Structure 1
């Protein structure tokens, strides 16, 4: 039998605060037994589980692994605006004039993540023109 990825684990200064942010990003939920001040907090969402663990050290370099988000019910740009509204920060904007590209944001503790085009946007850009 092979191994399964149970969850992705992130170091954090405030596990509960980070988990609350990511639960909102992913329209997920915190575990019922997670509360402010807990050293760990688990977020579950459609197809993924993220575990945040409180550690004393600070993030000092670019992430070696990051999350790419693909909006399901809104455009990339609408999703970027929503995420900025819940506390994300703009890191790098890679949107192109032709509509392609992505946006790199950071979460509350500076971890990078990207917002890509929605499936509908990808389909529209790939559709043959007449």
Structure 2
């Protein structure tokens, strides 16, 4: 079995996919346009893509599943700052004085995700 997509409910799939495309650097699906009910952010193989699907109801409770991200080009703290500039918000800060920990953030529609330390920070 292969994991093809991680599907995320959205009020505006195209706008939310654009946010995640900017965050990840991955392109939107070639055929996706504003107003589409399904919009794909295409990840490099073998990583599953992020598929955003329009739903009528708004998010009202904590996600039962979320994505943990590890920065590859910057530190955890620099990545948190970058994501905040792009429109994410800090939900819970679990950083510890010794440098360990993570930050739980929310995307522009309130979906939770975590930012962990980079591989370099963990190795250091």
TM-score normalised by the shorter chain: which range applies?
over 0.9
Q: CA deviation at 1:58?
A: 1.3
Q: Return the offset for 1:25.
A: 1.1
Moved over 4 A (4+): none
TM-score, normalising length: structure 1: 0.91
Give secondary structure in 2 for the equivalent of 1:56: coil
- 1:52-90 deviation per Cα after TM superposition (whole angstroms, max 9, x unaligned): 011101111111100000000110001001100110011
In the alignment, is the contact (CA less than 8 A) between 1:15 and 1:40 conserved in 2? yes
Judge conservation of contact 2:71–2:79 (CA < 8 Å) in 1.
yes
2:105 aligned residue: 105
Instruction: Return 5+ residue gaps in structure 2 as ranges.
Output: none
Cα distance between partner residues in 2 of 1:53 and 1:5: 17
Aligned equivalents of 2:48 and 2:77: distance in 1?
A: 23
Aligned length: 122
Residue 15 of structure 2 corresponds to 17
Tell me, yes or no, if the aligned pair for 1:70 and 1:117 is still in contact at 8 Å: yes
Unaligned runs of 5+ residues in structure 1 are 125-130
Larger Rg: 1
Superposition map of 1:1-130 within 5 A: 3-46=1-44, 47-124=47-124
1:32, distance to aligned residue in structure 2 (A): 1.0
Q: Distance in 2 between matches of 1:45 and 1:116?
A: 19
CA distance in 2, matches of 1:114, 1:51: 18
- Over aligned residues, Cα RMSD in angstroms? 0.8
